[in-house]
Structures are given as structure tokens and as C-alpha cells.
Amino acid sequence: MPYFRITLLRSAIGLPTKSTGVLKALGLRKRMATVYYPVTPDVAGQILRVKELVDVAEVDEPLTRAEMKERRRPDPGYFVEKRGGALKKL
């Protein structure tokens, strides 16, 4: 099932209230926020209302917020090789 990936690139400040309302309905509260919706005529119409503000792509699977954050997380760059057993005893 295909999904729309919608990212808010420009804010709706200074635009009619209807645009703000559509963004609120889509769940886009701030710039660079990303939401996923199934491809339906309703969502397509909503996107068309704010097409100047958002970036849209069609993807196969939606990502959750946690997954999106995990993709951005850098590598820790370390692992504990040996526990300091000698110091623990003191």
C-alpha cells in the first residue's frame, strides 16, 4: 500500500487561515516535520491546498517518529571493551 511522505518546507505564516487549518489537519506543526498518509483522494486534495509549502514523495512503507529519529542518530563510536574489575573491588 503506497503512502505519501509529506514534509513541511515553508511555514504558513501570513497565509489564509484555511492553509493553516489544512496543515493542522495533516499534523504538520513546524517546518521540516514529516508525516505519512496512505494515498487517498482526501489526502491528495489536502496536499493540493498546501502544495506550495510541502514536499511530497510516494513511499512504500511509512516510518514512525522513532524510526525517523533512529535514522538520524549518529554512531556512538565506542564500546566498552573491558570493565574495570580491579577498581570495583577497592
Angle, vertex CA 6, rays to CA 10 and CA 1, nearest 5: 170
Judged by CB under 8 A, the stretch of 21-29, 37-45, 46-54, 75-83 that binds other proteins is 75-83
Judged by CB under 8 A, the stretch of 12-20, 23-31, 44-52, 66-74 that binds other proteins is 66-74
Applying CB under 8 A, which of residues 17, 58, 66, 71 lies at the interface with other proteins? Answer: 71
Tell me the longest C-alpha to C-alpha distance in the chain: 69
74 near other proteins, judged by CB under 8 A? yes
Query: CB under 8 Å to 81, separation ≥6 — which residues?
Result: none
Closest CA relative to residue 8, chosen from 56, 64, 42: 56
Binding site for other proteins (CB under 8 A): 7, 55, 57, 71-72, 74-88
